[in-house]
Structure 1
Amino acid sequence: MAPSKTILDIRGKQLKLETAAEVAPFITHVDPTKLTAIHLGGNSIGVEAAKEFGRFLETADVLKLADFADIFTGRTIEEIPAAIKALLDPLSHKTALQEINLNDNAFGERVVPFLTPFLETNHSIRVLRLNNNGLGPAGGKKIAEAVYKSAPTDGSRSNLQVVICGRNRLEDPGATAWAKAFEAHKTLVEVQMPQNGIRMDGAEELARGLAACPELQIVNFQDNAFIDVEMDDEGRKAVRAWADAFKTSWPKLRYLDLSDCMLSNGEGEVPPILEAFNDPNTKNLQHLQELRLQNNNLDAKSYEVLAQAVPKLTALRRLDLQDNDDVEDNEHLDDIAEHLKVHGGKLILTEEDEEEEEKEEEEKDGEEVAETPLEEAEEEKKEIPAPLVTEEKPAADKVADVLADLMSKVHIG
């Protein structure tokens, strides 16, 4: 199959590109004015090579996706700033650009000044991927402040919908700045910030910032600390803020991962978040399909509250409670499992449960792909919200995506 003339893709070739001459073979037969996507990930891009790609991108006015993930392996901290500037400067005013992927590049705080001009200037971005960049609290704060500055101030609607910023050690200063950015944009559909060392104060601010985003559907804050076990009532202010947000703010929420977030002290304490699920005033969780609460010191009292709440969560198909307490011979967990099973869902308590679920879904995927005509799948797709993808997929991939949605699965990217 001939390579697409609208997509430049050299992902995973493990090339070490140093000069303009080494870049030339990959761009010579591609018209930048027709380019819709560029993928450079899995290669090592030097300064001169980055400048050549940058010159190529100057006329890429219909570019939708710029994938620069994992492009600096083996590069020194002296090389990366100039290289990232060369790649991003030509894209600062590209109004067609919808997604930028900078995952898995070891930027650190030192590279941040070369990222922020692009983030402040380009107001077209829908999807921002900054996962595993070593930003730290100060770097994460500066990045968030740049995103805040890009929010419209004239009453128009922001384009920003997805922010992935995990494994960056944002801590509370970075989290607080991101909360302000989310509140300014108000349009977030997906936010993933796992493994960032965020503690109670930052978690509280994030709940308040995201409460301004009524279209939120996917939330992942796995492995951050929401309570201070050394404090009494004051140490629960973050989980109370999240509970309030669940009650009032996110009517479209489909996926929630608060695993490893220390929601309880492990002494019979029921997190306010679980109580919110069971609150008669909570009307905003009717679309929640997947709930992950692994390793949160939950015990029998929490399961009793969940058993009362689950029948009200009418769309729930997967509840993950692995690595919590009192999971053996608990009648409330039995009730939850039975209710989910009747509605085609599953309670996950052990790794064996998870492996069994994955095996069942693989078998089901194979059966349904074989039986579902393309025309039927495309017809079903009309009823499903358009995914935040900027690159056209092959027909077979579209079918797989549709089937995944039909089975109420959420894929975290």
Structure 2
Amino acid sequence: MVRNTKILDIRGQCLKLNTAVDVQPLLEGFDPTLIEEVHLGGNTIGIEAAQEFAKFLEKTRKLKVADFADIFTGRLISEIPDALKALCDAIEPKSTLVEINLCDNAFGVRSIEPLRNLLQNNRFEILKLNNNGLGPEAGILIANWLKKSAELSKEKGLTSNLKTVICGRNRLENGSAPAWADAFAEHGSLEEVRLPQNAIWTDGIQALSEGLSKCPNLRYLDLQDNTFIKDGSKAAVDAWAHALPKLSALETLIFSDCVLSEEDDDEVPLPLKKLAEGSNQNLVTLVLQNNNLNASTFKFFADSLTPLPKLKRLELQWNDVDEDSEGYIDTIRQAMKKRNGKLFAYEEEEEEEEEEEEVEEEVEKEEEEEKEKEQEEKEREEGGAKEQVPSKEARELEEDVSTLTDILSKVTIH
């Protein structure tokens, strides 16, 4: 198979790269001036090895994707800052950069300083920082650097390029939520924000509603497994009811495991009432798993899907579905089916879909492999045909030789 000269990809090889000598064979045959993507994940990279990669990255002219996810497994905490600095400094000046992926690296607050200049000065579009063990202190620093980048752009008369921020499983907590809210407000260009599993509670969720409401182009929002109601306070729930109408472009909303309602509370959560009023008519996917929702909310949905004309996927698993709810669930299911959509109300339905997706992926994989085989066979046949059919020059030479042979055969030698 022909190697893609625009992509350097060593993902998932479980290589332990300590020295420049370890890295050099991986770079052989690649022209850095042609490289558009670099994927290093699933290997462990030491300081000297990182510096060797950095020399290569410095020479790139078209770099779009810098994927440094999961590259420090097994490394000492003292190694990570220097290795990270080498990589970040190398890509900071790249004006072509679109995506930075640093997921699954255990940075914590001790290792993130090398990110400062990169996050402040490079006008990238996508930032992936998932599962980095940041905590609130590091979370504040990251958010402040992102805010600074927006401010620097404004000073130059430019709008922010930032479109996507993924920062889940990082224990951002309430302590850093206001800083993130301020950063999001500065980057009004955001289209996708994912902050799942960050132990953010009511006050922090309320702050995020204020910051994200300044992002009118937001299409995808995931706040799964953060807490809206704590100690009876519904301030965050109310805040999001006010924020949603400002996010009319929203297509995917994930509020699973968010405690939108307290146990045995028959009141329909206010954000859902706003949806029923037509606040977000572009919504395609709505995920509300495990929120203590009960029959009153299911009845509400059964009567209120019309203001959500584009909704195709509604997930309500692990809520309080009882006998009183089943009729409403059936009504919702039929309404979703009429619009070629799907309701997920029970755990087994999701499992069935996952199995179907696995089968589809396997079929697609087999079809792709078959296409590759056919292409390779076609290329071999064409190559063979080219070898068998002589070129125009060869045919002319053959004719000349044949003519000369005829002439010589008629010559009498005395």
Normalised to the residue count of structure 2, the TM-score between the two structures is 0.84
Amino acid at match of 1:261: C
- C-alpha contact 2:318 2:347 (8 A) present in aligned 1: no
Q: 2:31 corresponds to which residue?
A: 31
The correspondence of residues 7-406 of structure 1 with structure 2, limited to 5 A, is 7-123=7-123, 125-151=124-150, 152-154=153-155, 155-228=157-230, 230-231=231-232, 235-247=233-245, 249-266=246-263, 267-279=265-277, 282-283=278-279, 285-330=280-325, 331-359=327-355
Identity, % of aligned pairs? 49
How far apart, CA to CA, are the structure 2 residues paired with 1:48 and 1:361? 42
- C-alpha contact 1:198 1:225 (8 A) present in aligned 2: yes
Q: Which runs of 5+ in 1 are unaligned?
A: 372-395, 397-413
* Larger gyration radius, structure 1 or structure 2: 2
Q: What secondary structure is seen at the aligned counterpart in 2 of 1:72?
A: coil
- C-alpha contact 1:311 1:339 (8 A) present in aligned 2: no
Q: What secondary structure is seen at the aligned counterpart in 1 of 2:170?
A: coil
How far apart, CA to CA, are the structure 2 residues paired with 1:86 and 1:362? 40
Per-residue Cα deviation, 1:288-314 (whole angstroms, up to 9, x for no partner): 111110111111111122222222211
- C-alpha contact 1:327 1:349 (8 A) present in aligned 2: no
Alpha carbons of structure 1 residues 187 and 275: separation in structure 2 relative to 1, 3 Å: same
- C-alpha contact 2:276 2:308 (8 A) present in aligned 1: no
- C-alpha contact 2:126 2:162 (8 A) present in aligned 1: yes
Instruction: Give the superposed CA RMSD.
Output: 2.1
Which structure has more RCO (C-alpha within 8 Å, separation ≥ 6)? 1
- C-alpha contact 2:252 2:286 (8 A) present in aligned 1: yes
Amino acid at match of 1:353: E
- C-alpha contact 1:327 1:333 (8 A) present in aligned 2: no
Amino acid at match of 1:191: V
Alpha carbons of structure 1 residues 366 and 43: separation in structure 2 relative to 1, 3 Å: closer
Q: What secondary structure is seen at the aligned counterpart in 2 of 1:224?
A: coil
How far apart, CA to CA, are the structure 2 residues paired with 1:255 and 1:132? 22
Aligned-pair CA distance for 1:113: 1.2
- C-alpha contact 2:224 2:257 (8 A) present in aligned 1: yes
How far apart, CA to CA, are the structure 1 residues paired with 2:186 and 2:115? 20
Deviates more, 1:249-258 or 1:102-111: 249-258
Aligned residues, how many? 363
Q: Which runs of 5+ in 2 are unaligned?
A: 368-374, 376-414
How far apart, CA to CA, are the structure 2 residues paired with 1:90 and 1:370? 39
Amino acid at match of 1:48: E
How far apart, CA to CA, are the structure 1 residues paired with 2:321 and 2:28? 63
- C-alpha contact 2:259 2:290 (8 A) present in aligned 1: yes
* Structure with greater helix percent: 2
Per-residue Cα deviation, 1:203-246 (whole angstroms, up to 9, x for no partner): 11111111111111111110000112x23xxx111111111121
How far apart, CA to CA, are the structure 1 residues paired with 2:274 and 2:359? 36
Aligned-pair CA distance for 1:369: 11
Q: What secondary structure is seen at the aligned counterpart in 2 of 1:191?
A: strand
